Amino acid sequence: MRSMSRATTHSTVPRRLRWRSLLLLGLVLAPLLWPLQIVIERYYREQLAEQRQQILDLYVANLLGTLNRYEVLPPILGQLPTLRQLLGQPDSGAKRDNANRLLNDLKEQTGADVIYLMAPNGQTLAASNWQQDDSFVGRNFSYRPYFREALQGRPGRFFGLGTTSGKRGYFFAAAVRDTSGVIGVLVVKVDLDHTETLWGERPERLLVTDNYGVVILTSHPGWRFHATRALDNAERAAITDTQPYQIQSPPPLKLQPDAWMQQSRKLDNIGWTVSIVAPRALLDRPVRSAVAVGGAALLMLILLLGLLMQRRRHYLERIALDAQARLQLEQRVLERTQDLEQLNSRLRLEVLERENAQQELVRAQDELVQASKLSALGTMSASISHELNQPLAAIRSYAENAGVLLDHQRNDDARHNLKLISQLTERMASIISHLRAFARRDRHAPETVALQPAIDDALALLAKRRRAMDVELIRDLPDATLWVQAGETRLRQLLGNLLANALDALSECPQPRRIWISAELTETTLDLHLRDNGPGFSAEALQRALEPFYTTKTSAQGLGLGLAICEALMRALGGELRFANHKDGGAVLTLHLLRSDNTMNKDHYNES
């Protein structure tokens, strides 16, 4: 017990010292966050100042471009004859109307807010807004600085609110002269309201102040017409005299210096100052985030050191646990070995039992093979009988016809019938040979066979029966010969069986009786469709049609081997036999065959 308590004391004391060391390390490194904050704040301040300077330059360029575009208009428009004629005859109504319409057209073309013509006494003679309720016509603006400057021969410039419209604008004025001197003043007012909308929704605020330090344009409507500095008595008197604003004593704009960062640019040619003030939060937010990241990194470093020390302690403990686990593993291996020896003895007994069961299975298989041979012999006999019935019926018909033809001295026709009988006997021999090969499961390589001649031969065997039943044959086959991979005899046997089954189905139906033969081609396969308008397949027949000896006919009409033999022949040819009911009634049998692209056998077929 003493040794264990001593070991525990040695393990806990160093651990407390380690975590205490980490805490001291964190306290030593924490003051490094202050210079980090200073560096990060300087970096983001420079970045934000550069961005604001670019935005300020773009806005100033746009503002000066707008003003400079209209600066040259007053001296040019003052030379128009229509306006000069009105200055010569100010009481003429017709000349006033012509001048008003002309100024309205010029206003639409140039985009100015208002263009108006004033007499030397400051009375407005014509204006582009002559038809509006706030028309300048008849009003006197001699108190405006731009009018007095124009009369003195200087370019008149002035910003102010329109006393009639109440809209902010910048006025450009120029004197209209003739040989006697100044005869009038032409004024162009530019609307500056749209320049505020160019700023958009931004956290920074726009300030444009005039020579009095009063805000005339701003993205914050609450700051408009507030003074950014204190005004003296002379400036207040000038404001009262020229009336640039609706109020004669603008209230001060109170901005907390610690909450805003300002960047300005002076426009010396018009005496304005364009400023951008940005909230301090734009700088404080990324600085705080960066400092937080730095603090988190410092904390992660301390935690990483702690984890490394903790991992080392766990590694030492794991070594001790591994030694103990090895002892336990050796004990388990010894126990497992004993279990395996007992299991091996039981397996040897099971192997002996399985060998005895295997011998019994071999004897049962031998008995099953013998029974299968007897069943196959019965199926072979039935198949030969089914396949030879059609050629024998045709031979009997041709022989009877030959006797009749000989009685009528038609020797050539009788000789033709005998030739057909000889061909049928060859076909019967071929059928027997193929059935024997099928029973032995022989494998013959497929050959290239012409499809249309095989169909013609099958139809020729059944021609007499088809004509007797008055069955209409509808063929939808291409003129070009279709070549498939099959056996010639097996294909004729297959087509004959399927067409015979179609005639059997039509024998139970009234007129009209029809058989359709069509083909559907793809790149590699050919589907031959045989359709009739008979009763079609029943639900049971669709499931059991391919079973040997299943038939819906009487025993005298068939053995039920037709479709089973045809399906076996199609498998031997590498194809597939499909059957279904047509949507318009009757049965549809499809022979899915492989196409043959080999044309070497075409010449052989032509020669034969």
Q: Tell me, what's the pLDDT at 389?
A: 74
Using the predicted structure, report yes or no on whether residue 162 has a pLDDT greater than 80.
no
Give the amino acid at 293: V
Assess whether pLDDT exceeds 60 at residue 434: no
For residues 504 and 554, the answer to whether their CB atoms sit within 8 Å is no
Cβ–Cβ under 8 Å, residues 182 and 264? no
Tokens of 202: 């931004």
Across the chain, mean pLDDT equals: 78
Q: Is the confidence at residue 124, as pLDDT, over 60?
A: yes
User: Which residues have C-beta within 8 Å of that of residue 450, sequence separation ≥ 6?
Assistant: 481, 482, 483, 602, 605
Q: Which residues of 233-256 are buried (b: 16+ CB within 10 A; e: fewer)?
A: eebeeebeebebbeeeebeebeee
Q: Give the tens place of pLDDT for each residue, 54-94.
A: 777 787 787 788 788 888 889 988 889 988 888 888 888 89
**What average pLDDT does this structure show over 314-328?**
87
Extract the tokens encoding 209. 């102040």
Residue 599 pLDDT: 41
Do 402 and 418 touch, CB atoms closer than 8 A?
yes
Check if the beta carbon of residue 117 is closer than 8 Å to that of residue 102.
no
- State how far the alpha carbon of 395 is from the alpha carbons of 77, 392, 417, 428, in Å: 119, 5, 9, 11
Q: Of the ranges 57-71, 254-268, 326-340, which one carries the lowest mean pLDDT score?
A: 254-268
Residue 182 has pLDDT above 60, yes or no: yes
Q: Are the C-beta atoms of residues 203 and 221 closer than 8 Å to each other?
A: no
Q: Are 64 and 56 in contact (CB under 8 A)?
A: no
Torsion, CA 132, CA 135, CA 138, CA 142, rounded to 10: -170
Q: Scanning the structure block, which residue is given the tokens 């049965």? A: 587
Domains of the chain: 72-191 (3.30.450.20), 195-282 (3.30.450.20), 444-607 (3.30.565.10)
What is the C-alpha to C-alpha distance for residues 142 and 132, in angstroms, rounded to an integer?
22
- pLDDT confidence of residue 447: 82
Residue 598 and residue 157: Cα distance in Å, rounded? Answer: 98
How much is the pTM? 0.43
The count of residues in the chain is: 608
Tell me what pLDDT residue 348 has: 86
The residue-averaged pLDDT of 152-164 equals: 81
- What value does the mean pLDDT take over residues 141-148? 87
Q: What is the pLDDT of residue 604?
A: 38
How confident is the model over 561-599, as pLDDT tens digits? 667 777 777 787 778 888 889 888 888 999 999 888 654
> 3-state DSSP call for residue 436?
helix
Q: Is the pLDDT of residue 496 over 60?
A: yes
